A = this chain, B = another copy of it.
Amino acid sequence: MPPAPGDRAARREDVSEAVWRTLAAKGFGGLTLRAVATEMGVSTGMLMHYFPTKRALVAHALDVLEKRTANRPRRGRPAEGLPALRAVLLDILPLTPDDTARNRVWVSSWDLALADEGLGADQAGRYTRMRALLRPHLEAARHLGQLPAAVDPERLAATAVAFVHGLVVQALFDPERFPEDVQTSMVDGFLRGLTADVPPSSPH
């Protein structure tokens, strides 16, 4: 007798959870059918009903990562301009165990993405969307006089993405050196710095 649809959905959820726990512990380099099967306490053969190939497993893992990132809890966006940008940046950083696990898996995925043209293009697109997400806050900050009129919102968005992702990596490798208050004060210092990031020839 085939399993009832509810069972099948529950089992699918179990598989996704096991894939996630494997990723969070071992990254994409350690994501194998055997590791996920061990995590679930089932046979590799059973798991091959879900993932006939390694590629299918990786595709599912990337899908879980995207969904978890899209559905993560976020800070409110109470104010316009730099305070809103601050909230966006803090939402990216590894400040909680869940945020840390998700960032750890993203950083791990870069190895895969750099070696695969399609995945690399996906990641480039993700960066383009991140910059597009930050840019309106920078434009609002300029409009509100929080930033000088001469700033370049597109360049500042790329600089902010660079800063926040580089901080993610440093903090993942040395969490004791980068607790929440240190990461937060670095974000605040960085935001103050944006006010001076103006080409020297520009009038302001």
Does A110 sit within 8 A of B, measured CB to CB? Answer: yes
Query: Besides A29-B112, A108-B115, A155-B182, 9 other CB < 8 A contacts?
Result: A107-B111, A108-B111, A111-B111, A111-B112, A114-B173, A127-B173, A162-B166, A190-B193, A194-B196
A residues neighboring B (CB under 8 Å): 25-30, 104, 107-115, 120, 123-124, 127-128, 152, 155-156, 158-159, 161-170, 172-174, 177-178, 182, 185-186, 189-190, 192-200
Residues of B within 8 A of A28 (CB): 29, 111
How distant is the Cα of A115 from the Cα of B28 in the complex, in angstroms?
9
Residue of B nearest to A165 (CB): B166
Residue of B nearest to A25 (CB): B115
Residue of B nearest to A185 (CB): B155
> Are B174's CB and A159's CB within 8 A?
no
Would you list 26 pairs from A and B whose C-beta atoms are within 8 A, ordered by A residue?
A26-B115, A27-B115, A28-B29, A28-B111, A29-B29, A29-B111, A108-B110, A108-B114, A111-B112, A124-B174, A155-B185, A158-B178, A162-B166, A162-B169, A162-B186, A163-B163, A165-B170, A189-B197, A189-B198, A192-B196, A192-B198, A192-B200, A193-B193, A193-B194, A193-B195, A195-B196
